[in-house]
Structure 1
Amino acid sequence: MRVVMFGYQTWGHRTLQALLDSEHDVVMVLTHPKSEHAYEKIWSDSVADLAEEHGVPVVIRNRPDDEELFARLKEADPDIIVANNWRTYIPSRIFDLPRHGTLNVHDSLLPKYAGFSPLIWALINGESEVGVTAHMMDDELDAGDIVLQRSVPVGPTDTATDLFHKTVDLIGPVTVGALARIAAGESDFTRQDRSQASFFHKRAEEDIRIDWSWPADVLERLVRAQSAPYPSAFTFHKGKRLEIVSAVVSQGRYGGTPGRIFYREGEGVAVVAGADARTGRNHGLAITRVRTEEGREMPALEYFTAMGGYLTSRP
């Protein structure tokens, strides 16, 4: 089939590579200009560079809504558009233009975690598996019929970085496998159960600020979800920002006020957590490594020279 690809960052790069390695003919590529957004500088393999290396025409747009682009798409005469990590709205006159419509590849197990940063949100929420879904595009965000879906388990110590590497390897097989079904004339795809749908926004500074009223197990997953090269989860100690590089749920139960720096436990320092910490029934978050405001990373036992005092959400 003649394919036009819409994509950006490493997700789009992997999709384009899979298409170039397949039997299909990539006739045009659309991608976004480079961004300085913190999350868009991560996993930023260039779709444009890969296309140009293979002699594929490249169009760069923030939004695909101008008449010149529409004319070029009509001239390209695609059988299908394949999109992955396209960051802005694609109008219906474009996604309906190809003979077989538009296939979107999304890094979640739809209908859950539509929208942005699905792996990070899924890890924070304690999901047991994550994956990649190829679905037909329609007017609603990430809501079209599912053509192919593959999953991988989330391990007890997996970070968001681990899950990225697990799921990015699914992009090629899912994309090519979905196209094979479409090329074979299949159309009886799986409708999404919209009652199970959830939608998530882009990650921002506020989303990595630690709230000590959260349970320790959720905070531990937040720390894993903000693994390098993502920005680390942070708190404040004595008015200065302190990044939490690694942590585990404490073995002991610690009562009192959330955020209290309480007790040295093993290789970490236990901090009281949970909205009902006053009951003494909660485990704490045992911080094992930190990074100071000056950028110095060290073991928590080295940083916290004395117990007592509080970690806070604000200076």
Structure 2
Amino acid sequence: MKIFFIGTVSFSKKSLEKLLSLHAEIVGVATKSKSAFNADHVDLTPICEKNSIPVKYIKDINAPHVLEWIESLKPDVIFCFGWSSLIKKELLELTNLGIVGFHPTALPANRGRHPLIWSIFLGLEKGATTFFFMEEGADDGDILSQKTFSINYKDDAASVYSKMEHSALEQIEEFIPKLKKGSYQRIKQDHTKGNIWRKRDIEDGEIDFRMSSRAIYNLVRALTKPYFGAHLYYNNKEVKIWKVKEEDYSGNNIEPGKILNVEEGEILVKTYDGAIKILCHEFQKMPLKGEYL
């Protein structure tokens, strides 16, 4: 089974390495040299050169010259694991098996943008990894494989990303033989039972201490590395916040945003229903007790 591979994030690299370890026949790879969109961007060129796989940097995966190149490689199936733009009909219909895509939620639930970030921010206790046959809509094709994993209170973006990769790599090992033999099943999605998450804007990453402590905690852990980080403003300058801790605080008549204490580089701030201790941050100048954030 000849596979053409499309990807440009950390998970793309892990998936490609997994396929190579399974002795899959990779006939070509499309990737990007850089990405302003993907914080977890990875250039797949080095691994392709090491394994003598044809590879090209692609801006528009649907461009006619790209379609001609892919078609010339005669793939049986295309894998698209980590690509930020929609794929059009011409490419979807280029191979007999079509294109297998990936989405880290339990489709049909939570289609759309920034799935890991929203999963953590909304406090979900379970994540999922889904491989599906791509159609012209977003994340709406028949499911090939789906698996769930737990999201714990102490998990953050990095640990959930790792869990997602581990789950998905196990699935790849399971479904590759089925694709080769034609013994796989296609499970149709019931979109009446699903929802679509919107694109996250920069404003969604701003900490507002009028929020609950749990909401702030979830926001920070959802956006920490490998992502761009939550932020707040101090003296009109943006400050990245990478790690916080919920703290009990029962003091009366204290407004949200007031700094309750500053000690050894840690900042305790009143929230709507308690307090948050800022543990890891990028303050150039430490704020003072009694100031507001």
Band the TM-score falls in, shorter-chain normalisation: 0.7 to 0.9
Equivalent position of 2:44 in the other structure: 47
**How has the CA–CA distance of structure 1 residues 18 and 290 changed in structure 2, closer, same or farther, with 3 Å as cutoff?**
closer
CA distance in 1, matches of 2:42, 2:156: 21
Q: Which deviates more, 142-151 or 174-183?
A: 174-183
- Residue in 2 aligned with 1:310? 292
Q: Which residue of 2 aligns with 1:9?
A: 9
Paired residue secondary structure (1:89): coil
How far the C-alpha of 1:105 sits from its partner, in A, is 1.8
Mapped to 1, the partners of 2:52 and 2:246 lie a distance apart of 52
The reply on whether 1:117 has 2:114 as its aligned counterpart is yes
The correspondence of residues 1-315 of structure 1 with structure 2, limited to 5 A, is: 1-35=1-35, 37=36, 40=38, 42-186=39-183, 188-194=185-191, 195-201=193-199, 203-254=200-251, 255-262=253-260, 269-274=267-272, 282-292=273-283, 294=284, 303=286, 305-306=288-289, 308-311=290-293
* Cα contact 2:247–2:277 (8 A) shared by 1: yes
Question: Between the two proteins, what is the percent identity of the paired residues?
Answer: 22
Distance 2:32 2:6 in 1: 9
Q: Is the 8 A contact 2:109 2:196 kept in 1?
A: yes
Contact 1:246–1:288 (Cα < 8 Å) also in 2? yes
- The aligned counterpart of 1:300 is none
Amino acid at match of 1:17: E
Query: Which segment is superposed worse, 173-182 or 144-153?
Result: 173-182
Q: CA RMSD in A?
A: 2.5
Question: What letter corresponds to residue 123 of structure 1 in structure 2?
Answer: I
TM value normalised by structure 2: 0.88
Query: Can you give the 5+ residue segments of structure 2 that lack an aligned partner in the other structure?
Result: none
Decide whether the 8 Å contact of 2:244 with 2:277 is kept in 1. Answer: yes
8 A Cα contact 2:157 2:226, kept in partner: no
Give the SS at the match of 1:29: strand
Q: For residues 153 and 189 of structure 1, do their structure 2 counterparts lie closer, same or farther at Cα, with a shift above 3 Å needed?
A: same
| Distance of 2:63 and 2:243 partners within structure 1 | 46
SS of equivalent residue, structure 1 residue 52: helix
**Residue equivalent to 1:279:** none
Question: Which SS does the other structure have where 1:94 is aligned?
Answer: helix
Which amino acid in structure 2 is aligned with residue 286 of structure 1? K
Shift of 1:304: 5.0
C-alpha separation in 2, matches of 1:70 and 1:269: 54
Identify if the C-alpha distance between structure 1 residues 64 and 185 changes in structure 2 by more than 3 Å, giving closer, same or farther: same
Aligned-partner residue type, residue 275 of structure 2 = G
Q: CA separation in 1, counterparts of 2:66 and 2:82?
A: 19
Report the residue type matching 1:56 in the other structure: I
Q: How big is the shift at 1:264?
A: 7.4
Q: TM-score, normalised by structure 1?
A: 0.82
5+ unaligned residues in a row in structure 1: which ranges?
275-281, 297-302
Q: How many residues align?
A: 291
Give SS of 1:253's match: coil
Q: What do residues 39-91 of structure 1 show as CA deviations (whole Å, max 9, x unaligned)?
A: 53x43332122112111111221112222222222222211111101121211
Q: Deviations over 1:233-252 (max 9, x none)?
A: 22223444443332222212
